[in-house]
A and B are shown apart, each in its own frame.
Chain A
Amino acid sequence: MSFPSPWHTIGRHGLLPAATHDEMVRFDIVAHLNAQIAQSLSPKVKTAYESRARQSFRLRHGRDPVDRHEVAEAMRQEPAYRVFSLVRRNTMEIRQHAGRQLVAREAESLRDRAKSANEGADTLKLDPTLEPPRYVSAVDTHLMRGGYTAERMTDDVTNPANYDAGMYATTGGAAGPWNDAAGRALVDWLRREHPQFKPRRIVDLGCGLGHNTLPLRAAFPEAEIIAIDVAAPMLRYGHARARSLGVSDVTFLQADATDSPIEDSSCDLVFTTMVLHETSRQALPRIFSEAHRLLRAGGLTVHLEQPPYRGLDPFEQFMRDWDGRFNNEPFWSALHESDLPALLVKAGFGAGNVFESRCAALPPSQTTLKNEDFGRAPSWYVVGAWQAAKGIAALG
């Protein structure tokens, strides 16, 4: 029997909040509860659907549910789904509350540690005139109060510290000690699929605290790396965290992923990890246009996300949509119903240069969870496009 990794095994760096015994156990229980939800409650939801709810839908409609909305209708009264949802939602609330209390106690210390790590560095470029878009600033994404942009005091870093510490609890350590599974998965995918590809300039759009940026630093030591985000607290924390981990040559730039100050045709790799589902329907195509603008000929844009709903069994769509319905992820459902390859073509990439793929951070035998915890396993859908050589795009 395997257990989620206890919180004290998280990678240590200079910005990690110092948790007491009780605070660590709260995170441990969150990890256990999430494992229970995936291992025990989630299969019961499936059984309830297959043995009862689908049948009664059939009796009413003379056919099976065809999409996630109809599955939701069929499942609305099912006790197994209600219990699953109650426990899952409350586990997120407990995780957020535990993290909030931890970082509130450490708020001044975290601010001072970040300040001293960032002192004098020209690689942290904040833009106080930047107004974060409302789709970021107005949402308490996954129940994180204040979201990515909130500041409780000048130079605050409490929300990113909560995000960093709590992510390890939410995933039960499945993303590794540095919470960087998506970044490592991207590196593995690039090495496997495109071993000749050696980007000289890399941009991470919507880097957050940079946890998935740093594996790219390790993989491409010669490259210039620019990590951009609209949220100043995330960048302050991420920059300080990177420096405390010995990485001092990644630029953390406060800018909008739809409109960055980076020059046209100057980059080889423009990527996102788990960002698109937190962008609005209006911003999404503009992020792809921005990637197209930034890339030079032969450059690559890659995006790691949870898989689209298209082609999935309606019940799986319904289960994967839980975060969209109940975890304050207001753009989740629309994103997973979007045709991302078509949007890349619309942004200017040649249809023949657009691709879809899969990647994973760890071989399945090494993952801690037996059943996939819809949306939280360390494997991703990959969608992207190559920038055609000059002249070819015009024909394309």
Chain B
Amino acid sequence: MDHSLPQIADPIPHATPAEAGRRPEAPQFTDDPMLDRLYGVTLALVTELAVTRSRLDALERVLTRRELVGQGDVDAFVPESADATARSRLQAEYLERVLRALE
């Protein structure tokens, strides 16, 4: 079975074209190269989720500082009925997207 993936261009250009190919191949730590890649993507997602959570936290704190939101308002938030339906839909759609591969 061919495990090779298409090359994805790095968004940041290499120093010179000559240097692009000089990196040694990434080491493989599991018996399946796909699993190594899955770890790579998962850890990048872990990082990006932390970025998003921190950004939400920053936003709440800025709003609190400016007295647009009171301390604990977000934790105590209970959606009104129409909002609740919209949020339920968002959550269901989100899970459907994330779990697509398991269906």
Nearest neighbor of A143 in chain B, beta-carbon distance: B23
* Interface presence of B51 (CB below 8 A): yes
Nearest neighbor of A30 in chain B, beta-carbon distance: B47
A89 to B44, CA, bound (A): 12
Given known pairs A82-B30, A104-B12, A328-B24, the reply for A146 and B19 (CB within 8 Å) is yes
* Interface presence of A346 (CB below 8 A): no
Interface-facing stretch out of B35-43, B63-71, B72-80, B83-91 = B35-43
User: Taking the nearest CB of chain B, how far is it from the CB of A94, in angstroms?
Assistant: 5
A391 to B12, CA, bound (A): 57
In the complex, which residues of chain B have a beta carbon less than 8 angstroms from the beta carbon of A25? 50-51, 54-55
Given known pairs A145-B19, A146-B14, A152-B13, the reply for A29 and B29 (CB within 8 Å) is no
* Interface presence of A317 (CB below 8 A): no
Nearest neighbor of A98 in chain B, beta-carbon distance: B47
In the complex, which residues of chain A have a beta carbon less than 8 angstroms from the beta carbon of B43? 33, 86-87, 90-91, 94
Q: Give the interface residue-count category, chain A.
A: 20 to 34
* Interface presence of A140 (CB below 8 A): yes
* Interface presence of A335 (CB below 8 A): no
Q: Is the CB of B46 within 8 A of A29?
A: yes
In the complex, which residues of chain B have a beta carbon less than 8 angstroms from the beta carbon of A152? 13, 15
Given known pairs A21-B54, A145-B14, A146-B14, the reply for A94 and B19 (CB within 8 Å) is no
Q: Is the CB of B36 within 8 A of A86?
A: yes
The total of chain B residues at the interface (CB under 8 A) is: 26
In the complex, which residues of chain A have a beta carbon less than 8 angstroms from the beta carbon of B13? 104, 152
Nearest neighbor of B38 in chain A, beta-carbon distance: A86
In the complex, which residues of chain A have a beta carbon less than 8 angstroms from the beta carbon of B24? 328
* Interface presence of A22 (CB below 8 A): yes
Please provide the chain A residues from 118 to 161 with a CB less than 8 Å away from any CB of chain B in the complex. Answer: 138, 140, 145-146, 150-152, 159
Nearest neighbor of B59 in chain A, beta-carbon distance: A21
A100 to B30, CA, bound (A): 27
* Interface presence of B11 (CB below 8 A): yes
Given known pairs A25-B50, A94-B43, the reply for A86 and B30 (CB within 8 Å) is yes
A30 to B26, CA, bound (A): 19
A29 to B46, CA, bound (A): 9
Given known pairs A29-B50, A86-B29, A89-B29, the reply for A151 and B15 (CB within 8 Å) is yes
Given known pairs A82-B29, A151-B15, the reply for A90 and B55 (CB within 8 Å) is no
* Interface presence of A355 (CB below 8 A): no
Q: Is the CB of B47 within 8 A of A94?
A: yes
Residue-by-residue, is A86-108 near B (CB-CB < 8 Å gives 1, otherwise 0)? 11011101100010110010000
Q: Is the CB of B51 within 8 A of A22?
A: yes
Contacts A/B (CB < 8 Å), 25 sampled:
A22-B54, A22-B55, A25-B51, A25-B54, A25-B55, A26-B51, A29-B50, A29-B51, A33-B47, A82-B29, A85-B27, A86-B29, A86-B39, A87-B39, A90-B43, A91-B43, A94-B47, A98-B47, A104-B13, A145-B19, A145-B23, A152-B13, A152-B15, A325-B27, A328-B24
Residues in chain A within 8 A of chain B (CB atoms): 21-22, 25-26, 28-30, 33, 82, 85-87, 89-91, 93-94, 98, 100-101, 104, 138, 140, 145-146, 150-152, 159, 325-326, 328
Closest 4 CB pairs of A and B: A150-B15, A146-B15, A90-B43, A25-B54
Told that A25-B55, A140-B23 touch, could you supply 12 new A-B pairs with CB distance under 8 A?
A: A21-B54, A28-B54, A29-B50, A33-B43, A86-B29, A90-B40, A90-B44, A94-B47, A151-B15, A152-B15, A159-B15, A328-B23
